[in-house]
Structure 1
């Protein structure tokens, strides 16, 4: 496929951004599965969820063997993240109105414990841990002209939840930078990338520390995000079959395109992750009501990842 064909549906203002093509790597299903929440561990596994099917999966990377390790039926899990102690934390959207939750478990799915209860009224899409064991999460609510979502911080003992940023329209991905003093957030329904400079108090933004370094183009918008060891930020673009890459200053420096996007297939690119020990990027997507199924794609990243 030619460069012109690959870039055909990329916004005009972004066609000059260098690009590379991701290759199909692992077929998860022949049918539609809304894959999300890619996360590596240090034991040669890649974890992810199937949002609407409720499953949490582990792909063993040596044998490329896929195993379903847990099921959150009717809870709509949106991501899975690894804590510093090795436990997995699953974010659930719940009924997508106010019954979302966070549940921790062992890497095999055992010993499930509620961290954020479904009775608290959140719709939890993604989270990012800090060095003390607390974490930020996004409350996936609102509309473009009715911004009722926000970003919250959960204390390391999981007893206190504090609002960090409010009045957001469907905040989606969230990740701390490598130094732990900068927080990236994607706001899906406003097509915006946010950056917050945080103080030593993880709940307080520095004076003049909130900015929007980038505005995206197109329907649906920015989805889940991750960083690499050099603080480059990777943003999966939902319904666009691609991911965008930004440097630590919020400037776009690269994009990753899926080969089927030119034919308007495999556009549901939701999540991206970088292998912690090598320059390998993995991006997941599915073909919706089409016949392409659900796949993991891979290409070379700009740097190695970090172990979350």
Structure 2
């Protein structure tokens, strides 16, 4: 994994942006994305390259998804600071909460841009850094909380399930529920049949899966071989980290690979099918979504250079539930 040539046609459709995340294909062909440092939700028209501010959430908006009511649901990590390195790449500043911090939360943003807090804690414990989310067919959503470093202490975060109406939230995997819980859980996505959830760990560059027994229920066997009850799928060899992900129609898990400079395409049985490098190299590819008329166009956020790329994907992406 390194700088190279993409096997698929790829073009840059936006540049000069901040540390961006959360691409979301809208029904009209435009792409919503987040600017973590600015605390903004923006919308890109990839045909014209025009970008418009949709809503200011404050904090650090990360992953975004459309809910059953048509509203936008945002994982807000509470805020992160960034700086530009001498080589021009934008990088996070460890320990910084940015210029407009808020309590970490799940936000709901209406179609006219009104922002409200849906959840900011679970079972008496505050959320620490909500990162990515995916809705199921029942109208609820799974989301990851990446945790946070503070001095020599680390909150490892976990995996949650919540209802879109704000009425219920449960912890599925967290520090109290596993001998070795998830380490910086980041991207999450569902298999095409909705019976398995995938979670990528950033720090370890591991991809895990859990079978789903019902909405918000993980089917973890009592004699699970792994401390967190998950099914190990894949681990990057070499120095790289995983960020957010999307699943294609064939069930492949397409993961933004930090330091690798592109997208790792992992088969459901745990093999590396392909690696798609970002032109010119960007150390911080953060996310991917599928859009276009036939869901065969991928949009990649390259946060290190503040750019968005459009890729002619060889397969259709998986249609999201809402």
What interval of TM-score do these two structures reach, taking the shorter chain for normalisation? Answer: 0.7 to 0.9
> CA contact under 8 A between 2:3 and 2:280: conserved in structure 1?
no
Matched, 1:141 2:147: yes
Please give the alpha-carbon distance, in whole angstroms, between the structure 2 residues aligned to 1:79 and 1:37.
4
- The answer for the alignment partner of 1:131 in structure 2 is 137
Give me the CA root mean square deviation.
2.7
CA-CA distance at 1:63 after TM superposition? 3.6
CA-CA distance at 1:229 after TM superposition? 2.2
Please give the alpha-carbon distance, in whole angstroms, between the structure 2 residues aligned to 1:64 and 1:259.
18
> CA contact under 8 A between 2:159 and 2:171: conserved in structure 1?
yes
- Which whole-Å deviations, capped at 9, do the CAs of 1:250-278 have from their partners, x for residues lacking one? 322111111212xxxx2211011111623
> CA contact under 8 A between 2:128 and 2:148: conserved in structure 1?
no
SS at 1:217 equivalent: coil
Matched, 1:85 2:85: no
Please give the alpha-carbon distance, in whole angstroms, between the structure 2 residues aligned to 1:214 and 1:86.
34
> CA contact under 8 A between 1:22 and 1:257: conserved in structure 2?
no
Question: Which of 101, 104, 117 is the matching residue for 1:100?
Answer: 104
Unpaired runs of 5+ residues, structure 2, are 81-96, 175-180
> CA contact under 8 A between 2:42 and 2:52: conserved in structure 1?
yes
Please give the alpha-carbon distance, in whole angstroms, between the structure 1 residues aligned to 2:111 and 2:30.
10
- The answer for the alignment partner of 2:163 in structure 1 is 155
CA-CA distance at 1:202 after TM superposition? 2.2
Gap change, CA 1:86 and 1:62, over 3 Å in 2 = farther
Please give the alpha-carbon distance, in whole angstroms, between the structure 2 residues aligned to 1:219 and 1:99.
32
Question: Which of 253, 263, 281 is the matching residue for 2:298?
Answer: 281
Gap change, CA 1:5 and 1:214, over 3 Å in 2 = closer
TM-score normalized by structure 2?
0.79
Please give the alpha-carbon distance, in whole angstroms, between the structure 2 residues aligned to 1:123 and 1:242.
24
CA-CA distance at 1:151 after TM superposition? 0.3
Unpaired runs of 5+ residues, structure 1, are 8-18, 288-292
- Which whole-Å deviations, capped at 9, do the CAs of 1:214-233 have from their partners, x for residues lacking one? 11234450000011222221
- The answer for the alignment partner of 1:297 in structure 2 is 309
Question: Which of 258, 274, 279 is the matching residue for 1:238?
Answer: 258
- The answer for the alignment partner of 1:117 in structure 2 is 120
Gap change, CA 1:142 and 1:113, over 3 Å in 2 = closer
Gap change, CA 1:70 and 1:189, over 3 Å in 2 = same
CA-CA distance at 1:117 after TM superposition? 2.5
Matched, 1:252 2:269: no
Aligned pair count reads 282
